[in-house]
Structure 1
Amino acid sequence: MNHDRSRALYDRALSVLAGGVNSSVRATKPYPFFIQRGDGAHVIDADGNRYLDYVMGYGPLLYGHSVPEEIQAAIQSHASAGPMYGAPTEIEVEHAEFVSRHVPSVEMIRFVNSGTEATVSAVRLARGYTGRDKIVIMQGGYHGAQESTLVEGSAEHPKPSTAGIPESFAQHTIPVPFNDTEAIEQVFSEHGSDIAGVLVEPILANMGIVMPVDGYHETLRSLCDDHGSLLIFDEVITGFRVGGLGCAQSRFGVTPDVTTFGKIIGGGFPVGAIGGRSEIIEQFTPAGPVFQSGTFSGHPVTMAAGLSYLEYAAENNVYSHINDLGSQLRTGLSEIVADQAPTYTVVGTDSMFKTIFTRDGAPDPDGHCSGGCQQNSDCSRFAHCPKTGADVSRAETDRWERIFWHEMKDRGIFLTANQFESQFVSYAHTKADIEQTLEAYKEAL
């Protein structure tokens, strides 16, 4: 493949953009390819190279790059009426009504402009509602670029995970290992009366896709109830992708107090949202004392895109199609891995997937979760599958980034550039695309 134009564009970008990009994960080595346009399940770069896309904008593109006509018409109708108004519009109300009808935790919602803004607001809301300061997060979880959650270390020794955050900020955050019931019980035993909320992705989706072990979310729900803390599900990635219109919380049967959204809820446009019980969400100004506001919040084009995205899914066989393709892909990957790299672990659910280059595997590969790790205690690989973010970090992450990603790119497959972020199947993908992808994995592995 020729990448001369992408290389030239990156050279220009380095002079005017920090690191040559506007989001760190796009800075692939030695330089990223620049996208010119999308076409269904494919992207075409600045040099005319065509790739089968499983990044899907890091999750928002449920329908790929060519949305159904009904969705496109809704977007164009609102875009042509005017860019934005600084006043409410009917489409905001309609979108809020749709979400509240389908998501178990949502009685009321506040739309914002990004997943980060949603989680920032949710943390402030939890503190304002409870009158407490401490927030529990999962080690390896990701909740956007915000001071309260860019924290690493242990419950006893939290510290900022990036420059620019005062050490004192991290003292209000308690990191615990995902899926570790004993650890979270100990934290509540010591700090329960100071914990405003537990912020958790239902599935660790920025850390290789780690499913919850049986009963873990029920434990979080029970501890929050016992101590008067809020359970906050970060469904920025899983929302309207895992569990269909009911989101991951309906899949797991655990209802949080507050849910944050992003990505799919905006139909590919910048968006975020915080939903939950009315008594909690009404703490936002102007109804309550917790300040929250935004110039572009509830943007009419975003609302039209998001609502039409979800309405189309409700009226058509969208989730059945993409989940079936996701299952075919993970099953095929499991077979390839068992034959060529038996220590590796295939993970994912619904339309999400990833292959983690784990270093240890079961001595007998038979009897494993063929459709991706589900943390099944009866599975022969159960002791070897990643349970925490640290488990994923111990995988062969350099091998993915330095070798495997490039091998797949050279075969026309666009994957997320490191071991950690999720990959996605869209409504635009076909069975032939899955077969092509599996052949590429066979060759690259």
Structure 2
Amino acid sequence: MNRECSRNLYDRALSVTPGGVNSPVRAVRPYPFFVKRGDGAHVIDADGNRYLDYVGGYGPLLLGHDLPQSVQSALQSQLADGPMYGAPAEVEVELAEFVTRHVPSVEMIRFVNSGTEATASAVRLARGYTGRDKIVVMQGGYHGAQESTLVQGASGRTSEPSSSGIPSAFAEETITLPFNDAEAARELFEERGDEIACMMTEPILGNYASVPPVDGYLETLRELTEEHGSLLVFDEVMTGFRIGGLQCAQGKFGVTPDVTTFAKIIGGGFPVGAVGGRADIIEQFAPTGNVFQAGTYSGHPLSLTAGLEMLRFAAKNDVYDHVNGLGEKLRSGLTDILADRAPEYTVVGQDSMFKVIFTRDGPRDLKGQCEAGCQQNPDCPRFDYCPKDKTDVDRAETERWERLFWPAMVEQGVFLTANQFESQFISYAHTEEDIEETLEAYKEAL
């Protein structure tokens, strides 16, 4: 493929932007292609090359790049009425009512501007509500670019910052645990449960290759937090309104947290975030409570209009049946391909999310394995080999995925997230023909 225009744009960007990008995950080698426009399930780069898009803006584009007329019309109407007001607008109430109707944990909601702001606000809220300082997060979990969760450390111990610029005092209040390790969680809460304000976790380890929970794990977290007076916070920035449909991942797994954070899909491709949960907790936000949270762009009418109309469209049409059906088809096809080409590799994903993890080991006999991606089924011959936490994914062939596989897929016109860790997404714009084309590309690249 000719990418001369992208190369020239990258050369210009290097002079005015750190690393030539505005988010480090976009810094692929030798340089990224620059997107000119989206078209349904595709993106077209500055040189006119066309790619099947499974990045989807890293999750927000449930409907793909071509918005339905109802969404476009609502956005145009909002633009005509003015971009923002510095005062409440009806759309804030309408989207709040939609979310509280459908998501099990949400009785009240506060809209903010990003997933990072949502999780940072949730941490402050948990500390204010409980009067405690310690929080618990999962190793490999990602909760935005905020001081309290950009940490690393041994299981159950005080952490250290994982980024320069974060005072160690922030990390000292954060404890990390391995995902899917119920015993480690029990030991921690037995020892320090009365210090812990909240346990924050993604229901699926979405930023670490979509590792799913083992049976009973989320239920254990729910029981421990309730027993010790801590809050259970589900970070559904990625899974919200994608996994489990309108009930989100908490509905799919049948575990109701105290607080839930949202972003991505609830903004329909525009900047957004939200913190929802039990009314007695959310009312601790100012002005009804003493936990300060505010923002000039919070509840931005354009973002909330896009999110509301996208969700209304999803509720009235077959969006989730379509994307989840394609996800099942794609993961099943990938499972068959790997059985032949790379039986040690693992397919993961739920509903419209998917990933192939380049794991290094697998069973000799694949008979009876999960047919459409790892479900952490103890009866599956892969169960002891399927990744359960960050350490398992780190042991995979991450360099091979990034340096050889990803470029090979791009050459075949398939755009995947740029490393072994980020999930991939199917949109309503994808078709069965797109899935078949993608499977052929995997065959060739593997």
TM-score normalised per structure 2: 0.99
**Which amino acid is 1:316 matched to?**
N
- Where in structure 2 are the equivalents of 1:30-429 lying within 5 Å? 30-154=30-154, 155-429=156-430
Q: CA RMSD in A?
A: 0.6
Q: Secondary structure at the match of 2:234?
A: strand
Task: Measure the CA separation in 2 of the matches of 1:343 and 1:87.
Answer: 56
Secondary structure, aligned partner of 2:294:
coil
CA distance in 2, matches of 1:333, 1:394: 21
Which whole-Å deviations, capped at 9, do the CAs of 1:333-355 have from their partners, x for residues lacking one? 00000100000000001000000
**Shift in Å, 1:16:** 0.4
What CA distance in whole angstroms lies between the structure 2 residues aligned with 1:367 and 1:101? 39
User: How many Å apart are 1:321 and its aligned residue?
Assistant: 0.4
User: How far did 1:157 drift?
Assistant: 4.5
Whole-Å Cα distance in 2 between the matches of residues 193 and 187 of structure 1? 10
Equivalent position SS for 1:199: strand
Q: What is the identity, as a one-letter code, of the residue corresponding to 2:90?
A: E
Q: What is the CA deviation profile of residues 74-114 of structure 1, one whole-angstrom value per residue up to 9, with x for unaligned ones? A: 11111121011100000100000000000000000000000
Q: Is the 8 A contact 2:376 2:383 kept in 1?
A: yes
CA distance in 2 between counterparts of 1:22 and 1:50 reads: 23
Cα distance in structure 2, aligned partners of 1:76 and 1:23 = 29
SS in 2 for 1:94: helix
SS at match of 1:321: helix
SS at match of 2:242: coil
For 2:60, the aligned partner's letter is: P
Residue 69 of structure 1 aligns with an amino acid whose one-letter code is: Q
Contact 2:158/2:171 (<8 A) preserved: no
SS in 1 for 2:142: coil
Q: Per-residue CA shift, 1:39-67, capped at 9, x if unaligned? A: 00000000000000000000000010001
CA distance in 2, matches of 1:190, 1:161: 25
Task: Check the 8 A contact 2:40/2:64 in 1, yes or no.
Answer: yes
SS at match of 1:366: coil
Shift of 1:156: 2.0
Question: Secondary structure at the residue paired with 2:375?
Answer: coil
Q: Which segments of 5 or more consecutive residues in structure 2 lack a partner in the other structure? A: none
Shift of 1:367: 1.1
Identical positions, percent: 70
Aligned to 2:432: 431
Q: 1:21 and 1:347 mapped to 2: Cα distance?
A: 29
Whole-angstrom distance in 2 between the partners of 1:294 and 1:356: 39
Matched residues in 1 for 2:416 and 2:175: separation? Answer: 32
CA distance in 1, matches of 2:382, 2:113: 41
Query: What is the distance in 2 between the residues matched to 1:209 and 1:65?
Result: 23
> Matched residue of 2:406: which SS?
helix
Q: Which runs of 5+ in 1 are unaligned?
A: none
Alignment partners' CA distance in 1, 2:432 and 2:341? 23
What's the TM-score, normalizing by structure 1? Answer: 0.99
Partners of 2:309 and 2:216 lie apart in 1 by 35
Contact 2:158 2:173 in 1 (8 A): no
Worse-superposed segment, 331-340 or 167-176: 167-176
Q: Secondary structure at the match of 1:44?
A: strand
How far, CA to CA, are the matches of 2:58 and 2:370 in structure 1? Answer: 25
Aligned counterparts of 2:74 and 2:162: Cα–Cα separation in 1? 41
Moved runs in structure 1, 4+ residues, more than 4 A? none
Residue 3 of structure 2: aligned partner? 3
SS of the counterpart of 1:269?
Answer: coil
Mapped to 2, the partners of 1:69 and 1:366 lie a distance apart of: 47
What's the secondary structure of 2:237's corresponding residue? coil
Q: Tell me how far apart the structure 2 counterparts of residues 38 and 80 of structure 1 sit (CA, whole Å).
A: 24
Residue identity in the other structure for 1:128: G
Quote how far apart the aligned CAs of 1:70 are.
Answer: 0.8
Amino acid at match of 2:37: R
For 2:41 and 2:79, the matched residues in 1 are separated by: 24
Size of the alignment, in residue pairs?
445
